[in-house]
Every structure is written in structure tokens, then in C-alpha cells.
Amino acid sequence: MGRQDVASMFAVALFLGAFASVPTSVHSVGVCYGVIANNLPPANEVVQLYRSKGITGMRIYFADANALSALRNSGISLILDVGNDQLANLAASTSNAASWVQKNVRPYYPAVNIKYIAAGNEVQGGATQSIVPAMRNLNAALSAAGLGAIKVSTSIRFDEVDKSFPPSDGVFKNAYMTDVARLLASTGAPLLANVYPYFAYKRDPQNIKLNYATFRPGPTVRDDKNGLTYTCLFDAMVDAVVAALEKAGAPAVRVVVSESGWPSASGFAATADNARAYNQGLIDHVGGGTPKRRGALETYIFAMFNENFKRGELVEKHFGLFNPDKSPAYPIRFK
């Protein structure tokens, strides 16, 4: 999970906040299942926990055979990441992609409802040149295997979007994203985007109000260019991604929020109260979509568990909705 920094112009402009409660369906919300820890419950117990809480979507970050086996006939839909370490190999040839599909998809689908395959997560630097070839090869391999219903995408950091305030000014920073967007448009797949108001707020708390970042009540922000009013930072960030897709010539491509969350300890504004407000607010909000795109916005919360081996700042270990013993990190309601 990368730092979702927002351009300073965006941060300065979004200094007010509000929350408008919108009825939602739990079917809009999944939870990412990270496993960078040595104290997590077995995968079969994790799947049982998802089902008991009414969580109907999951994301895993590599083709974890234990998780895939546990998901059989669970009814939980899945984002399956290839793993960034596999991206260059999949980009190199269609045969490599075919081998990956035969090993990691065919044995499980359709008993495991694999909805999307993510060809990379927050890929940076020269490795970005492998994204489009890997996506094309995976699409070809899935089609050849009769698995074309599974959509291939990639998961981007929010800072792939430049000029993100007002939201209507959103544009992709790097040229390769135009190729990504147009490929998605041709296949009907969504763009996966990791959207973290937490990191935007952390970067500039003087100009972004906590209420605006956490779905709490407050004033609103208007985009004078498109006439839309924003009641939360999350919506403004998502609509900046939408605007970037439009400028890339892919206005029909959906956005799926493949990660979003708030930490509950060990960092700036990382409290159980703020995490509960954000994540419960997110669950209650996304069923109504954003001002630019109404309708349910498919969203995945990061993450299911606190992960004690996460690298980076200490706060990274505390994004979980649950502790490793399956007790809630704070009260949260999915159903």
C-alpha cells in the first residue's frame, strides 16, 4: 500500500468538509486480505469470518493457493493480483501468461468467483512499461482458456492523477496510463484505483479538515467547472480519477476503488475513533456513488487484519478492521 499523496493545490482547495449519508448495499464493499504477518488465522477461518460479517468481496495480493482453496463455493467475489514480481514474466510472452492462468485460475474458477485480475499494484518506475503487455497477454490467455468473463486491470496509486483539484481537472501524470485506459475501454474492464483520504489529510491537516476526510458533518466544496458539490474528500478523489479517464479517451471505463482505509493506531490522526468514522462512513456512503457517477461504487477496504510484518512507518501495521485473533479493532457494521 503506497502513500496516496495529493497535489498541494488539491489539498489547499479542499479545506472544508461534510458528510451526506447515502443508503447503500453491502454488496458494494469488499475487504482486502493482506497476509504480511506471522500471527493470522488460517485461510478457511478467514473466509468464515468474511461470511459471518456479510462481507461479499475480497482482494488478495498474489495467487495464494490456501486462500483460493478456502474461497471455493463461498460466494465471495475476488480481485486476484498477479503479484508485482510476476509482472515482467507475464509481459514477456503469451505462453507465460497462459501458464499462469492454467496454474492459478483454471483450477479454481468458477467455484471461486474471480471477478478481476490485477496486473500489478501501484507499479512504479520502469516496471510500468510491463503493465499493458501483461494485461494483453493475460486477456489472450483467459480468452483462449474460455475464461474471458474475468476482467483484467491494474491497480494504481492515486498520485498517478495530476492536477486533481478541482476534480474536473484530473489528468493522468504519465503517458502509459493513456494506453492502460484505452485497453480497459476495449475490454470493458474497470480501472482499479487505491484511494486514501488519510494520506492526503496527513500531508496537509491545516488545509484539509478532518471531518471532510472522514465522512463527518461539515460544509461542502464546490467544483465551479462542473457545477458539482462535494461533501467528502473520497468523492473528490474518485471523481478526479474519472476526469483523468475522460481526458485519456476512455470516458466509459468504470472506477473500482481497490483499496481505501484509515489506520487505528501508531500515527498521525490514527485512532480507533477516526478509523471507525472513516470506514463505517465509507461503507454507508459508496452505495450512492460520487457526484459525477451516481450508482453503487465498488470499493474494497484495506485491510481485514492488522499486519505485524508490514514495512515502513509503524502506522502501516494498523489498518486492519480486525485483530489477528479475529476480534474487531473497533466496532464496524457490514450488515
Distance CA 236, CA 102 (A): 40
Residue 232 has pLDDT above 60, yes or no: yes
Q: What is the pLDDT of residue 335?
A: 75
Q: Which residues contact 182 (CB under 8 A, 6 or more apart)?
A: 248, 249, 250
* pTM assigned to the model: 0.92
Query: What DSSP line would sit under 128-149, residue for residue?
Result: GGGHHHHHHHHHHHHHHTT-TT
**Chosen CATH of 30-196+235-322 out of 3.10.25.10, 3.20.20.80, 3.40.50.1010, 3.30.1490.20:** 3.20.20.80
Q: Which of 122, 160, 298, 307 is catalytic?
A: 122
Q: Which of 160, 259, 298, 307 is catalytic?
A: 259
Of 68, 70, 72, give the one whose Cα is nearest residue 44: 70
User: How does pLDDT run across 160-177, given as a tens digit for each residue?
Assistant: 999 888 999 999 999 999
Pairing of strands 151-157, 57-60: unpaired
Q: Dihedral angle at the C-alpha atoms of 152, 238, 259, 131, nearest 10 degrees?
A: 30
Give the H or E element holding residue 99: helix 94-104
User: How does pLDDT run across 69-91, given as a tens digit for each residue?
Assistant: 999 999 999 999 999 999 999 99
pLDDT-above-90 percentage for the chain? 89
Residue 1 has pLDDT above 70, yes or no: no
Which sign, positive or negative, has the C-alpha torsion 309, 104, 82, 69? Answer: negative
Distance CA 115, CA 123 (A): 21
pLDDT band at 13 (very low <50, low <70, confident <90, very high): very low
Active-site residue flag, 316: no
User: How does pLDDT run across 261-294, given as a tens digit for each residue?
Assistant: 999 999 999 999 999 999 999 999 999 999 999 9
pLDDT band at 27 (very low <50, low <70, confident <90, very high): low
Domain coordinates in residue numbering, the chain: 30-196+235-322
